Amino acid sequence: MNTTMEDRAVDTQALGKVAVLMGGRSAEREVSLMSGHGVLAALRSKGVDAHAFDPAERDLTELRREGFQRCFIALHGRFGEDGTVQGALELLGIPYTGPGVMASSVAMDKLMTKRIWVAEGLPTPAWRQVRSAAQTLEAFKALGSPMIVKPVREGSTIGLTKVTDASQCEAAYALAARLDPMVMCEQFIAGDEVTCPVLGTGDQARALPVIRIVAPDGNYDYQNKYFTDDTQYIVPCGLPDGEEAHIQALVLKAYQTLDGRGWSRADVMIDARTRKPYLLELNTSPGMTGHSLVPMSAKAAGLSYEDLCVRLLASAALDNPA
């Protein structure tokens, strides 16, 4: 698949007054602020009339009163990536970046995402929804060791535990349940960890280069994602012949199945023994920090951080335009 990004001139003046939504009320607020300030600086460097807007500190109705014409959503997690802000912007009639209400809501719910992918014949690790520590122990017996326990509607590996012994099940469930009453257990796939962004909508959507992630001790947690330089991001990914194109095609189908729009990023594990890829989740408002993966992949495809931000902003849309 050809992932080289063609140069598309955008009239930044025509984009109007832009709000970069950042911060918010989720557990990923700190990362969102980092993303948002990066996007804000990039847009301003391209001549966009862009302004910071934190929904945790200001009412969204101020967007209309202050004459904002479109929004770049740099919010992560709940109250920003889950369809709630998207729905509010639909009511306000202000176009926004990223997928629409339904796609955002579904992708935030890892259980619902898996159910749809399985119905469409797409590979994803086996899982169980659990409502107690006892059910977590039963899931461990069924899924085997190691097993991942995580909140259904959180991101950035927040609240996630890799369980290798039955004695860990109770604490793993308690940690996840503190963040979300919906908890899931997932089969752990040992092998290469990769991620692949998608830009565009419908038949025009294209997968960007795959990035292979090599984290210290294989632990790609919150700290290693955002606050250390020890994690290696390898692009070109160096996978065996044909694997990158196969993963790109798989991710593109996963994105289109959930009715993706604008952009997203899918996380994938490749079984070391069979080389079969398994879809983990789709992020509909990916990070845009200095450690983030979409800008890294876009750069490998010939698209700078600043041009990526402008291109995403230009794709802002509504589910139901007037």
In order of their start, the domains of the chain are 12-97 (3.40.50.20), 107-124+189-306 (3.30.470.20), 127-187 (3.30.1490.20)
> Which residue in the list 90, 287, 306, 311 is annotated as catalytic?
287
> Which residue in the list 32, 35, 104, 156 is annotated as catalytic?
156
> Which residue in the list 173, 220, 226, 278 is annotated as catalytic?
226
> Which residue in the list 32, 224, 283, 297 is annotated as catalytic?
283
Q: Beta-strand (E) ranges in 139-253? A: 147-151, 161-163, 183-187, 191-199, 206-207, 211-214, 232-234
- The pLDDT score that the predictor gives to residue 91 is 97
226: annotated active-site residue: yes
287: annotated active-site residue: yes
Q: Beta-strand (E) ranges in the chain? A: 17-21, 49-53, 70-73, 127-130, 147-151, 161-163, 183-187, 191-199, 206-207, 211-214, 232-234, 263-271, 277-283
Q: Using alpha carbons, select from 164, 165, 281, 163 the residue that is nearest to residue 173.
A: 163
28: annotated active-site residue: yes
281: annotated active-site residue: yes
271: annotated active-site residue: no
pLDDT digits (tens, 9 = 90+) for 53-110: 999 999 999 999 999 999 999 999 889 999 999 999 999 999 999 999 999 999 999 9
pLDDT digits (tens, 9 = 90+) for 198-240: 999 999 999 999 999 998 766 655 555 555 677 899 999 999 8
Return the ∠ at Cα 197 (arms to 194 and 198), rounded to 5°.
145
267: annotated active-site residue: yes
